[in-house]
């Protein structure tokens, strides 16, 4: 630690658009949480311009479709999302001039739909009782009925490809010449674990990949195969699914993108985590490290802490933090956070005579 005044030098370049700022997120050391003798880093994906790891795949889905001639100028884009992919797509489509329609179950946080609408997207809500499969099929219906471009985040090769070419390469560069014993991630679409897994298995085979999912919705842990159509699209809700509070993780089906990681053994250990543990870990990161992440990030970090407890001295762990905590205001993450002053804050206010609320 230094007491010198911090200075900055700029990035040494000017950016043509917000889209050029996607990626190159930092790996940040954890200093106040975790056991002695083990080092934990978090890859802070909230440094992406729209605040989540999904900015990467949103950009690549659109640009891959442009390169391949599957997306025409001015064509409407449609996708089913729990929020982060939709927010990323809304940013990309706003910059590139594509109309965007999002389908989303009404169980996901209100701030997510408002963010997408602020960025110019239309948000079509589907009944929560129909789970993720309902919003998924609604997007398919709308695409077919209107001739829209379906982003297909759960099936497209553009998803894992962008993590192979960016996320994984950043990890290799950041840990060049350094130990990296464990890489910990959850899954939503499966793009992160599949894309990063391709590279780590080939170039850092000593790094163990730890996959995690909700304790009450262990789709991968069940060992039950996902029902699919011939084209890889989902046929039905997975029988092991139950509703869980870790938004962005584990829809009610195993995505085709994740299936690559399962088929190619891109993980060494699967550790389930309860939603309440994820909430607490996210709150601890905020209060003890000054790092604001969502329930998915907290859940991944909780698993990293479990690994740290049993890891050999000197081990180094990298944990994915998929997004920022600010899009969880109406979720259990903020449920215990008061809006009004508590007794201690009231006492502080009353300790001097002026400027008190009535």
Q: What value does the mean pLDDT take over residues 14-42? A: 98
Q: How confident is the model at residue 191 (pLDDT cuts 50, 70, 90)?
A: very high
pLDDT at 160: 98
Q: How confident is the model at residue 2 (pLDDT cuts 50, 70, 90)?
A: low
201-219 per-position pLDDT tens digit: 999 999 999 999 999 999 9
Q: At what angle do helices 256-263 and 191-203 cross, to 10 degrees?
A: 30
Distance from the Cα of residue 84 to its chain's centroid: 7
Phi-psi region for residue 74, left (φ > 0), alpha (ψ -120 to 50) or beta? left
pLDDT at 235: 84
* Residue 177: Cβ-neighbour burial (10 angstroms; 0-12, 13-18, 19+): exposed
Out of 82, 152, 194, 296, pick the active-site residue.
296
pLDDT at 247 over 60: yes
Any idea which fold 54-150 has? Rossmann fold (3.40.50)
* CATH number, domain 18-48+169-334, options 1.10.357.10, 3.40.50.1100, 3.40.50.150, 3.40.1190.20: 3.40.50.1100
Helix, strand or coil, per DSSP, at residue 278: helix
pLDDT at 23: 98
Dihedral (Cα; 212, 217, 223, 228), 10-degree rounding: -110
Q: Name the residue ranges covered by the structural domains of the chain.
A: 18-48+169-334, 54-150
Q: How confident is the model at residue 15 (pLDDT cuts 50, 70, 90)?
A: very high
pLDDT at 145: 97
Decide if 195 contacts 201 (C-beta within 8 A): no
pTM higher than 0.85, yes or no? yes
Alpha helices in the chain (DSSP H): 54-67, 84-96, 110-118, 131-146, 157-162, 168-174, 191-203, 219-222, 256-263, 275-284, 295-310, 343-350
pLDDT at 1 over 60: no
Can you name the residues that pair with 209 across neighbouring β-strands? 183
- Number of helices (H) and strands (E), helices first, in the chain? 12, 10
Determine whether 54 is an active site residue: yes
Determine whether 138 is an active site residue: no
pLDDT at 228: 92
| Longest Cα separation, the chain | 73
Q: What percent of the chain has pLDDT over 90?
A: 94
pLDDT at 46: 98
Can you name the residues that pair with 210 across neighbouring β-strands? 184, 269
54-150 has the same fold as 18-48+169-334: yes
- Tokens representing 199 are 């590279």
More confidently predicted of 323 and 248: 323
154-190 per-position pLDDT tens digit: 999 999 999 999 999 999 999 999 999 999 999 999 9
pLDDT at 335 over 80: yes
Distances in Å between the Cα of 2 and the Cα atoms of 5, 29, 208 are 8, 16, 34
The pLDDT mean for the chain works out to 96
pLDDT at 109 over 90: no
pLDDT at 358: 86
Place of tokens 């589907």: 126
Q: What percent of the chain has pLDDT over 70?
A: 99
290-304 per-position pLDDT tens digit: 999 999 999 999 999
Out of 43, 52, 54, 299, pick the active-site residue.
54
pLDDT at 3 over 80: no
């Amino acid at each position: 630690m230094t007491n010198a005044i911090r200075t900055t030098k700029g990035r040494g370049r000017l950016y043509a658009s917000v889209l050029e700022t996607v990626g190159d997120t930092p790996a940040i050391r954890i200093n106040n949480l975790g056991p002695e003798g083990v080092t934990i880093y978090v890859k802070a994906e909230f440094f992406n311009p729209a605040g989540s790891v999904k900015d990467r795949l949103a950009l690549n889905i659109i640009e891959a479709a442009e390169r391949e001639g599957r997306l025409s100028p001015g064509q409407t884009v449609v996708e089913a999302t729990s929020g982060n992919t939709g927010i990323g797509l809304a940013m990309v489509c706003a910059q590139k001039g594509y109309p965007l329609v999002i389908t989303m179950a009404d169980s996901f946080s209100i701030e997510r739909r408002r963010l997408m609408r602020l960025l110019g997207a239309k948000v079509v809500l589907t009944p929560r009782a129909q789970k993720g499969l309902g919003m998924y099929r609604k997007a398919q219906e709308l695409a077919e009925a209107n001739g829209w471009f379906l982003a297909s985040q759960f099936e497209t090769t553009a998803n894992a490809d962008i993590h192979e070419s960016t996320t994984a390469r950043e990890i290799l560069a950041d840990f060049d010449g350094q130990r990296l014993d464990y890489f910990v991630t959850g899954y939503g679409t499966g793009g992160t674990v599949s894309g990063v897994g391709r590279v780590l298995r080939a170039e850092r085979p000593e790094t163990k990949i730890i996959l995690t999912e909700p304790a009450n919705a262990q789709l991968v842990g069940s060992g039950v195969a996902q029902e699919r159509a011939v084209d890889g699209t989902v046929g039905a809700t997975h029988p092991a699914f139950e509703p869980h509070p870790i938004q962005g993780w584990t829809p009610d089906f195993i995505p085709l993108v994740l299936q690559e990681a399962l088929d190619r053994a891109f993980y060494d250990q699967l550790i389930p985590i309860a939603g309440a543990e994820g909430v607490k870990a996210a709150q601890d990161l905020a209060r003890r490290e000054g790092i604001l992440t969502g329930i998915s990030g907290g859940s991944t970090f909780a698993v990293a802490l479990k690994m740290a407890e049993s890891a050999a001295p000197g081990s180094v762990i990298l944990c994915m933090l998929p997004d920022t905590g600010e899009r969880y205001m109406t979720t259990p993450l903020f449920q215990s956070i008061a809006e009004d002053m508590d007794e201690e804050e009231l006492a502080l206010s009353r300790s001097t005579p002026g400027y008190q609320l009535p």
